[in-house]
Structure 1
Amino acid sequence: MSAARSALMFALLPLFAGCQLVPMSSNDSKVSTAGMIRMQGTLSGDGGKLFFAPCNEQRRYAVTDKGNTGVLQEAASVVDKNGKAFADVRGNFVASKAQGSDGQADIYQLYRVERPSGACEDPNFKRLTIHASGNGPKWNLNASGKGLVLEREGKEPFAVPYMEEQMPEGRFNLITDANNQHVELYVAPLRCVDPSNGSVQHLTAELRVNGQVQRGCAYFGAMRND
């Protein structure tokens, strides 16, 4: 276990007492997130509490995992050398002057958690509906209301319009046929870990290009919050 992870785990010991690692959401106690706020920021532990600081802000909120997302354990798995992790979450944020914080963050959905690496400054996030990526070889897909862009290692970027098909149990796929390429992206609401960097995302993805299959992880961009 790294020193940074050990430090965060130690800071959060009172919270881990009696806890179990659970999926990123629990279907048995699913609560509608309509009307809740989505935020990105930094997670850190202090004095047995987990705190969330929104991107480019000085405020920090004391975190309560109301949606059983497993955010405490997930954060501990990806912290950097300073004991911090980037998180993309949805919940209720209530301002108050509680001791040691600027308010309370009740988290109901975890979209992704990863090591801090400039995610707060991602210029693409605000215009995307979904981002998906994988390895072996490396691939990256960004979809927005204007179309999708597929980048694959050793190949030219591929920008085309697409159609979306809804499927049962929250699954969906993106389909396009252009430039003699048949591209499909199958997405399912299942916890996914990127083995290249340890990031945890709330969707699994399967990319098919002319029948060739590659797997990876995905998360919703700012233009999609379901």
Structure 2
Amino acid sequence: MRIASVLAAGLLPLLGGCQWLPWPAKPAEPAPLRLQGELTRSAGELVLHPCHQQRSLSITAEDSLGLPYAVARLQQTGQQPLFADLAGRLQEDASGEPSRLRVERLYRLQPGAQQGCDDAQFKRLIVRASGNEPGWMVSVSALGMMLERPGVEPLALPYVEERLPDGSLSFTSEADGRRVELWLTPGRCVDSMSGALGHLQARLQLDRQPPLMGCAALGGARD
């Protein structure tokens, strides 16, 4: 009994010390890579040619995105090529070179690949929203909010941003006697004129006027 008691007492510090050993942390999974470029179809497969790059990437996508159907709908109108703004994970071929992009998020899909790739403001933009009838566009960056409408002088305003738990965003400005509020809600949105696809639904409220509806997508300054 005495020997057993001594052994038990000697094991107590060891057992207690085990409780303080750190549990190996699970490596953080890298964030999806965001890429923009020209989206084409080759041999029945979607292929992305990233902006200002020589390589091309075969595209697969989550079924919930409906990417092949969206591409087919836009190409039926005869407007080609398509500009795609996507995020996903690269997969390598047998030689170790990235050859495929598994798309997890669709930001934008629209006619006019060259116009999308040459957007000089993209990297500075937090979000861009637009709508039709009447036409309007709002660009938001760290410098402020810009409201543009046909036949009206552009209006530059400061803003306050609010983010809600459901992923909605609002950008509100009250300056120079004007109140401008842009609400963005997660959800697939199709432009009523061009057929372009965005991942956010937009609502623009100008003073007490009826709200204007449109589509939006996050810019390069916000993922």
Instruction: Report the alpha carbon displacement of residue 96 of structure 1 after superposing the two structures with TM.
Output: 3.0
Q: How does 1:1-226 map to 2 (within 5 A)?
A: 35-66=31-62, 68-79=64-75, 81=78, 84-96=81-93, 103-117=99-113, 118-212=115-209, 213-225=211-223
Secondary structure at the aligned position of 1:202 is classed as strand
Q: Go from structure 1 to structure 2 and tell me whether the alpha carbon gap of 1:177 and 1:40 turns closer, same or farther (over 3 Å shift).
A: same
Superposed displacement of residue 107, structure 1: 0.3
Distance of aligned partners of 1:113 and 1:97 in 2 relative to their CA distance in 1, 3 Å threshold: farther
Q: 1:102 to 1:59 in 2, by over 3 A?
A: farther
Larger Rg: 2
Whether the 8 Å CA contact 2:167–2:185 is kept in 1: the answer is yes
Deviation for aligned residue 1:94: 3.1
Between the two proteins, what is the percent identity of the paired residues?
35
8 Å contact 1:33–1:90 — kept in the other structure?
no
Unaligned runs of 5+ in 1: 1-31
Using the size of structure 1 for normalisation, the TM-score is: 0.79
Distance of aligned partners of 1:36 and 1:149 in 2 relative to their CA distance in 1, 3 Å threshold = same
SS where residue 191 of structure 1 aligns? strand
- Code of the residue aligned with 1:59 in structure 2: it is R
* SS of equivalent residue, structure 1 residue 137: coil
Q: Is the 8 A contact 1:67 1:109 kept in 2?
A: no
Question: Aligned letter for 1:196?
Answer: M
Q: Structure 1 residue 178: deviation in Å? A: 0.6
What's the CA shift string for 1:144-176, capped at 9, x where partnerless? Answer: 011111112222111111001122311121100
Q: 3-state SS of the aligned residue for 2:151?
A: coil
Question: For 2:183, what is the secondary structure of its paired residue?
Answer: strand
Aligned residue pairs total 192
The superposition leaves residues 115-162 of structure 1 with CA deviations (integer Å, 9 ceiling, x where unpaired) of 125110011111000000011111110000111111122221111110
Corresponding residue SS for 1:68 = helix
Which structure 2 residue ranges, 5 or more long, are not aligned?
1-27
Q: CA deviation at 1:196?
A: 1.3
